[in-house]
With several copies, the nearest count.
Chain A
Amino acid sequence: MAFDIQNIRDDFPILGQKVNGKPLVYLDNAATTQKPVSVIEAEANVYRTINSNIHRGVHHLSNVCTEVFEDVRQKVKDFINAPSSDEVIFTRGTTESVNLLAASFGETFLNPGDEIILTEMEHHSNIVPWQLLAQRKGVTIKVVPVTDGGELDMQALGEMLNEKTRLISVAHISNVMGTINPVREIVALAHAAEIPVMIDGAQAIHHVPVDVQALDCDFYVFSGHKMYAPTGVGVFYGKRKWLEQMNPYQGGGEMIDKVSFSGTTFNDLPYKFEAGTPNYAGIIGLGAAIDYLKQNHLEEIWNYEHQLFEYALDKMKSVSGIRFVGEAAQHTSVISFLLGNSHPFDVGTLLDKLGFALRTGHHCAQPLMDRFGIPGTVRASFAFYNTKEEVDHLVEALIRVGTMLG
C-alpha cells in the first residue's frame, strides 16, 4: 500500500494554515506534534457523548467512559508490547513520569552515597528531577559524556558502573541531535551488574519501534503530545517487580484501597500510582492517536520519515556555512544546525517570516550546549506529514537567510 502524503496531510487540519502570508511549514515536531482530526474528534466526542468521572460509578455514562478509558491502557500495552496493562501508568507527560520514578523509586531504594547515571545529552526533564532527589537523599549523579559526533561514550559508561550504582536513566533518542542511543546494549550492560534502567522515550515512541520486552528496560516513559495525541497525557511503564516494591507516588482518590486516619492501604497496580481524576478525555485521545498510527502502518510511517530525513540532511549539506550539531550514525528525523556565525534566534526569526516553524535555543538541554560550547542551535524536526517539497523550500529559505545575515 502506498503511503499517500496528501491524504495524510488532509488529516491534519492545522497544516493548511498560512503564517505571515506564507504556507505554514511546521518543522517543530520534536517540541510537539500536530493532531489528526480523529484525535481531535475523539477527545471532543468524550465531552459530547460519554463524559463522566471514571471508576466506581454505578451509572451508564460512568461505566462506558471507564471502559473506553481502560481500553486505552490496553492499546498502550500493545503499542509498547508491555507484558501487562497493569504496568502501564498514566501521567501528565514525560516530565511527570520521570518525577514519579525519582519520587517513588528514589524514596524506596536510594540512600546517601548511592549513584545514578545520566548522560550529557539528557533533556532537563531527565536531569532536574534527579538533582532534586540527589539533594534530598545525598545521592551522587554521574554523567556519561557525549562524543564530538553526538554519540554516547559507551566506554565511559561501562567504567562508571560500580557497586554503588542504583539506576541508569537515559534518553532513547536525543531531542537535540536525533541520535538513537544503543539502549538495548545499555540495558544489557546494566543488567549484568543488576542495575535497572529507565529510558526516556519522548523522542522515540513515534519514530522507531518500541518493544519494552525486547529492550528489557525496567522503565520506559513518554508524552502523548509528541505522538500526535493531546496535551496533558503521559505514560510511565514499569516492570511489575519494581512497581510492586515502590512506594506510592502521590496520594488521593483512586490510588487507595481503604483510607482511615489510623492507617491507609493502597490500591493494586496500576492504580497505586494514579492519584486523582486522570485526564481521561486526553487519554482517550491518546488511544485514537495509536489507532491512527496503526491504520497508517507504522512501518511505512517510519520508512517515509527515514527517507525524508536522509533527503533533508543531504540537501541541507549544500547550504553554505551550515554546521550540524550531532552527526550520529543512528539518527531520527531531528537535525540541529548553525548557520555560519549567525545567532539561532536570528535564523529562527527570519525563517518564521517565511512561514517555517523551527525551534531555536538550548532545547532544554543546556548541558549538551555547554558540551559543544554553543548557546543554542536551530532545530528542524520532521514528522511523516512533512514533504520533500517542504525540505526544498527550507533549503532555499536557509540560503536566503544565510545571505541576509551575512
Chain B
Amino acid sequence: MTIKEKQEEVIEEFSAFDDWMDKYSLLIELGNELDSFDEAYRQEQNLIDGCQSKVWLHAELKDGKIDFQGDSDAIIVKGIVALLLRVLSGHTPDEILENDLFFIDEIGLKEHLSPTRSNGLVAMVKQMKAYALAFKAKQG
C-alpha cells in the first residue's frame, strides 16, 4: 500500500466514530497494541521531550526502506505514534518526503500536531522527515 492508501485506510477506520470518546478509545487500543519499543534504543538521542509527554523515535534503513520504531509515555500520544508508524514505516525516503500527512487533520487529531501543543508529536513528525532526508543523502 502507498502512504496515500494507508492514510485513506486510517481515515476509513476512524470514520466509523462520531463520538470523541470512541475515537480516543481506538487510539488507546492502538497505543496498547503498538509493538514494544526496543529498550536498547531508549536513549537520550532518541528522546523528544514534549514537556507534557515524551516520545521516543528510532529509525533504520533496511533494503532502501525506513523502518521506524516509536513509543510514548502517554497512551494517547502512543496511539498517534502508532498511526504515524503504520503510515510511514516501511517506505523509501523519497516516498516519505513526497507525501503530505493529511490523515491527522481528517480524523480530527490536528490539534495534537499543533506547534503550540507540547506533547512531542510535531517534533516527532519533523524528525521522521529529517531521517528520510538523512538516509536519502547517505544513499547518494
A residues engaging B (CB < 8 A)? 20, 54-56, 58, 63, 66-67, 70, 342-346, 349-350, 353-354, 360-361, 375-376, 400, 404-406
Could you say which residues of chain B place their CB within 8 Å of the CB of A360? 52
| Complex contact B74–A343 (CB within 8 A) | yes
User: Does B1 have its Cβ within 8 Å of any Cβ on chain A?
Assistant: no
Given contacts A67-B114, A70-B116, contact A58 B52 (CB under 8 A): yes
User: Does B34 have its Cβ within 8 Å of any Cβ on chain A?
Assistant: no
Q: How far is the CA of A244 from the CA of B14 in the complex (A)?
A: 44
| Complex contact B118–A350 (CB within 8 A) | no
User: Does B66 have its Cβ within 8 Å of any Cβ on chain A?
Assistant: no
Given contacts A353-B24, A361-B51, contact A63 B77 (CB under 8 A): no
Q: How far is the CA of A351 from the CA of B73 in the complex (A)?
A: 18
Could you say which residues of chain B place their CB within 8 Å of the CB of A58? 52
| Complex contact A56–B114 (CB within 8 A) | no
What's the least CB distance linking A162 to chain B, in Å? 37
Closest-by-CB residue of A relative to B111 is A63
B21: contacting residue among A66, A350, A375, CB under 8 A: A350
| Complex contact B75–A346 (CB within 8 A) | yes
What's the least CB distance linking A365 to chain B, in Å? 14
Instruction: Sort chain B's interface into a size bin.
Output: 20 to 34
Please list 12 pairs of residues, one from A and one from B, whose beta carbons are closer than 8 Å in the complex, sorted by A's number. Answer: A20-B20, A55-B116, A56-B118, A63-B117, A66-B116, A67-B116, A343-B53, A345-B76, A345-B77, A349-B24, A376-B52, A404-B28
User: Does B2 have its Cβ within 8 Å of any Cβ on chain A?
Assistant: no
Closest-by-CB residue of B relative to A65 is B116
Q: How far is the CA of A404 from the CA of B24 in the complex (A)?
A: 9
| Complex contact A353–B76 (CB within 8 A) | no
Given contacts A67-B116, A70-B116, A342-B75, contact A56 B52 (CB under 8 A): yes
Task: Give B9-31 as 1s and 0s: 1 = Cβ < 8 Å from A's Cβ atoms.
Answer: 00000000000110011001000
| Complex contact B116–A345 (CB within 8 A) | no
Q: List B24-82 residues whose CB lies under 8 Å from chain A.
A: 24-25, 28, 51-53, 73-77
Closest-by-CB residue of A relative to B23 is A353
Could you say which residues of chain A place their CB within 8 Å of the CB of B7? none
Could you say which residues of chain B place their CB within 8 Å of the CB of A376? 52
User: Does B89 have its Cβ within 8 Å of any Cβ on chain A?
Assistant: no
Could you say which residues of chain A place their CB within 8 Å of the CB of B20? 20, 353
Could you say which residues of chain A place their CB within 8 Å of the CB of B115? 70
Could you say which residues of chain A place their CB within 8 Å of the CB of B118? 55-56
Could you say which residues of chain A place their CB within 8 Å of the CB of B77? 345
Could you say which residues of chain B place their CB within 8 Å of the CB of A54? 116
Q: How far is the CA of A361 from the CA of B21 in the complex (A)?
A: 22
Could you say which residues of chain B place their CB within 8 Å of the CB of A56? 51-52, 118
What's the least CB distance linking A263 to chain B, in Å? 16
| Complex contact A346–B76 (CB within 8 A) | yes
Q: How far is the CA of A70 from the CA of B116 in the complex (A)?
A: 8
Q: How far is the CA of A345 from the CA of B27 in the complex (A)?
A: 14
Q: How far is the CA of A56 from the CA of B118 in the complex (A)?
A: 6
What's the least CB distance linking A161 to chain B, in Å? 36
Closest-by-CB residue of A relative to B31 is A346
Could you say which residues of chain A place their CB within 8 Å of the CB of B52? 56, 58, 344-345, 360-361, 376
| Complex contact B119–A345 (CB within 8 A) | yes
Could you say which residues of chain B place their CB within 8 Å of the CB of A67? 114, 116
| Complex contact A405–B114 (CB within 8 A) | no
Could you say which residues of chain B place their CB within 8 Å of the CB of A70? 115-116
Q: How far is the CA of A61 from the CA of B116 in the complex (A)?
A: 12
Closest 9 CB pairs of A and B: A343-B74, A353-B20, A345-B74, A66-B116, A345-B53, A345-B52, A346-B76, A346-B74, A56-B118
Q: How far is the CA of A189 from the CA of B40 in the complex (A)?
A: 53
Q: How far is the CA of A388 from the CA of B48 in the complex (A)?
A: 40
Q: How far is the CA of A200 from the CA of B115 in the complex (A)?
A: 31
Given contacts A345-B52, A345-B53, contact A375 B73 (CB under 8 A): yes
Could you say which residues of chain A place their CB within 8 Å of the CB of B24? 349-350, 353, 404
Q: How far is the CA of A360 from the CA of B75 in the complex (A)?
A: 15
Q: How far is the CA of A376 from the CA of B114 in the complex (A)?
A: 21
Q: How far is the CA of A400 from the CA of B19 in the complex (A)?
A: 14
Could you say which residues of chain A place their CB within 8 Å of the CB of B76? 345-346, 349-350
Q: How far is the CA of A267 from the CA of B129 in the complex (A)?
A: 24
Given contacts A345-B74, A346-B74, A349-B76, contact A404 B119 (CB under 8 A): no
Could you say which residues of chain B place their CB within 8 Å of the CB of A375? 73
| Complex contact B21–A354 (CB within 8 A) | yes
What's the least CB distance linking B64 to chain A, in Å? 35
What's the least CB distance linking A108 to chain B, in Å? 26
